[in-house]
């Protein structure tokens, strides 16, 4: 039983979708059905964006400490493994925004608050038959193709009078395909997605409200990971994004992304049902005015 749960506990470990950064190297490997996981994240973000890191803000410099709570549950879908996840970003205690925005006089903002709720629906299209926990331990790793859709609801704190907000005041729908191929002690993971944004009719402007629209943003990810033993693995991560230009009151902001991020990540189990994962991701090439993000993340996760 310990072997079963150990495989479960490391199956999902490095996602940061609450800040729209990237999936983890092994976020989409198979799980037995009727498995539950809970995660608690700490993220430190250095960026020119608000909480939604797909949305750059001209002149914004922000350092943010953010928490994230995530719950996942697996179940069968048409004979294969599927699942649902819920993610909620938040700040706590002394966590706060520190932002300097030259356009409005270099004011400083300190805020605590809750971000937008993200719901993820996923199902495997190839490989990964629905297995019980007892069946799962005998199943060898296999090539998988997984479909998912991320739905971000505008539930977070938002004030049209504020230049810095936790909520985006808009819906985001992001369909994704994820391919995973194990070989030896290694795994290659490829993810592709496109985010579609509704408009925000209450976008903050110094002289009043504006209407924000954003073009679809496409992202491709590649993750190479290696298992040193049953409890420890590490990965090299590459993320490329293109598109996502914004318009405020019909005026193009010239901030389309053609952006490359590089990072490293890893996970270690310190009990059969508990693990700690870390990741670091940094923008290394981006056009002027586009999103420029640096993120360090650590999470604790528990499976049952």
pLDDT value of position 23: 62
Tokens of 144: 């998988």
Cα separation, 181 vs 143, whole angstroms: 5
Map residue 205 onto helix, strand or coil: coil
Q: Locate tokens 């005026």: which residue?
A: 251
pLDDT value of position 109: 60
The rounded Cα 167 to chain-centroid distance in angstroms is 15
pLDDT value of position 30: 81
pLDDT value of position 165: 76
Cα separation, 41 vs 59, whole angstroms: 28
pLDDT value of position 138: 83
90 to 93, 243, 280: CA distances (angstroms): 10, 27, 20
Q: What is the CATH number of domain 2-303?
A: 2.40.128.130
Q: What is the DSSP letter of 5?
A: H
Residues 49-65, mean pLDDT to the nearest whole number:
70
Per-residue pLDDT of 215-234, as tens digits, reads: 999 999 999 999 999 899 99
Residue 81 has pLDDT above 50, yes or no: yes
Cα separation, 261 vs 225, whole angstroms: 17
As a 3-state breakdown, the chain gives helix, strand, coil percent values, each rounded to 5, of 5, 55, 40
Map residue 149 onto helix, strand or coil: strand
53 pLDDT tier (thresholds 50, 70, 90):
low
- Range in 14-18, 63-67, 111-115, 121-125 the model is least confident about: 14-18
Map residue 259 onto helix, strand or coil: strand
Cα separation, 102 vs 119, whole angstroms: 35
Residue 75 has pLDDT above 60, yes or no: yes
69 pLDDT tier (thresholds 50, 70, 90):
very high
Map residue 139 onto helix, strand or coil: coil
pLDDT value of position 19: 40
Adjacent-strand bridge partners of 153: 117
Tokens of 280: 């670091």
Cα separation, 44 vs 153, whole angstroms: 23
Residues 87-108, mean pLDDT to the nearest whole number:
56
Residues 104-123, mean pLDDT to the nearest whole number:
76
Give ∠ CA 197-194-187 in degrees, rounded to 5. 145
pLDDT value of position 51: 63
pLDDT value of position 65: 81
Per-residue pLDDT of 156-184, as tens digits, reads: 888 888 777 778 899 999 999 999 999 99
The percent of residues above 90 in pLDDT, for the chain, comes to 49
Residue 108 has pLDDT above 70, yes or no: no
Residues 72-78, mean pLDDT to the nearest whole number:
93
115 pLDDT tier (thresholds 50, 70, 90):
confident
Tokens of 266: 């890893």
Residue 209 has pLDDT above 60, yes or no: yes
Q: What mean pLDDT is reported for the chain?
A: 82
pLDDT value of position 3: 44
Q: Locate tokens 């993320």: which residue?
A: 239
For 22, phi then psi, to 5°, come to: -170, 165
Adjacent-strand bridge partners of 127: none
Contact 93, 86 (CB under 8 A): no
Map residue 286 onto helix, strand or coil: coil
Residue 247 has pLDDT above 60, yes or no: yes
Q: What is the DSSP letter of 104?
A: G
């Amino acid at each position: 039983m310990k072997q079963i749960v150990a495989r479960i506990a490391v199956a999902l470990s490095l996602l940061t979708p609450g800040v729209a950064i990237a999936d983890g190297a092994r976020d989409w490997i198979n799980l037995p059905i009727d498995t539950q996981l809970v995660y608690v994240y700490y993220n430190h973000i250095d960026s020119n964006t608000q909480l939604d890191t797909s949305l750059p803000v001209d002149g914004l410099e922000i350092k943010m400490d953010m928490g994230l709570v995530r719950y996942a549950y697996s179940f069968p879908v048409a004979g294969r493994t599927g699942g649902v996840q819920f993610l909620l970003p938040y700040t706590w205690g002394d966590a706060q925004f520190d932002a300097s925005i030259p356009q409005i006089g270099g004011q400083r903002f300190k805020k605590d608050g809750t971000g937008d709720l993200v719901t993820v629906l996923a199902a495997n299209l190839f490989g990964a038959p629905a297995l019980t926990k007892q069946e799962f331990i005998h199943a060898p790793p296999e090539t998988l193709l997984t479909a998912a859709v991320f739905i971000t609801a505008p539930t977070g704190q938002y004030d049209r009078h504020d230049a810095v907000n936790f909520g985006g005041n808009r819906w985001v729908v992001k369909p994704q395909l994820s391919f995973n191929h194990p070989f030896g002690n290694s795994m290659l993971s490829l993810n592709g997605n496109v985010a579609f944004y509704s408009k925000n009719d209450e976008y903050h402007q110094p002289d009043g409200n504006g209407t924000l629209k954003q073009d679809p943003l496409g992202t491709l990810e590649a993750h190479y990971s290696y298992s040193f033993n049953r409890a420890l693995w590490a990965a090299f991560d590459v993320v490329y994004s293109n598109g996502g230009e914004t318009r405020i009151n019909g005026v193009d902001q010239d901030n389309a992304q053609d952006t490359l991020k590089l990072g490293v990540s890893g996970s270690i189990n310190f009990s059969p049902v508990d693990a700690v994962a870390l990741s670091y991701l940094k923008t290394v090439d981006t056009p002027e005015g586009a999103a420029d993000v640096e993120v360090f993340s650590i999470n604790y996760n528990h499976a049952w």
